[in-house]
Amino acid sequence: MTAALEVSRLSFGYGSQPVLEDISFTVGRNESVGIVGANGSGKSTLLWCIAGLLRAKGTVRLFGEPSSRSSRARLAMVFQNPEDQLFMPALVQDLALPLLNRGVEREKAFREAGARLADFGLEDYRDRPAAHLSLGQRKRAALALALMRDPELLLLDEPTAELDGRAVRLLAGALERIPAAKLIATHDLGFLRRTTTRTLLLRAGRIAADGPTEELLANEPLLEQAGLI
């Protein structure tokens, strides 16, 4: 089967300053891959380029096809700030929206949105705005929203930032049950160990390492050099 994602010789800069240089890697179907690197190393930028939100040089292929509107419809991204994706007066409306946009009938869309919230332990909050939830709940809600598209590739940007231990555990458990390829940008090394089998290390805009997560985590000099420990 073709890879979920193939990034080849990708380069990007916001201005003249390059942020990503000559990035190449692949993510297999159902593989879960981490992206680590110090603050400002380009993790978010790389995810934005893959999601087609920024236009980079080089090529991105999704599920064996060139990146296009239709191939990108098969991926979903969870932004670092859930506020960027949850803004309706009721959480259930946020989740129903992608289905309504796809032409799903109203009652069915709301029923599925409610069921998905229940899967994430958020049934008691369905009629409240995301702003009334704790950050951990909002992060879970943002993931639940991403899943409404049944993505085959899930891009997650700092999913555990500012979460407490229990919220991290719930999130890791939820991720494990999702049958999609995953690319997870994080500097939470415990979460990385728990949720990924392979990791890319970004340093100064380039891939400084790409290998099994356990090996990377055991390489203290490399982690130190990358500003991770």
Ligand X SMILES: Nc1ncnc2c1ncn2[C@@H]1O[C@H](COP(=O)(O)OP(=O)(O)O)[C@@H](O)[C@H]1O
Positions in the binding site for ligand X (CB under 6 A): 14, 19, 37, 39-45
Which residues does 157 contact at the CB level (< 8 Å), separation at least 6? 43, 44, 47, 77, 78, 79, 80, 185
User: How near is the Cβ of 60 to ligand X at its closest, in Å?
Assistant: 16
Q: Which stretch binds Mg ion (CB under 5 A): 3-11, 12-20, 37-45, 85-93?
A: 37-45
CA 51 → CA 37, 45, 54, 56, 115, distances in Å?
19, 10, 8, 11, 27
Of 11, 30, 44, 219, the residue at the interface with Mg ion (CB under 5 A) is: 44
User: How near is the Cβ of 44 to Mg ion at its closest, in Å?
Assistant: 3
Task: Round to whole Å and give the CA distance between 185 and 205.
Answer: 14
- Given ligand X, Mg ion, none, residue 159, with its beta carbon under 5 to 8 Å by kind, binds none
# residues near Mg ion by CB under 5 A: 2
**Of 117 and 201, which has the nearer Cβ to ligand X?**
201
Alpha helices (H) along 11-84: 43-50, 69-72
Cβ–Cβ < 8 Å for 123, 114: yes
CB closest to Mg ion, residue no: 44
The bridge status of strand 57-62 relative to strand 32-36 is unpaired
**Of 28 and 227, which has the nearer Cβ to ligand X?**
227
**Residue numbers at the binding site for Mg ion (CB under 5 A):** 43-44
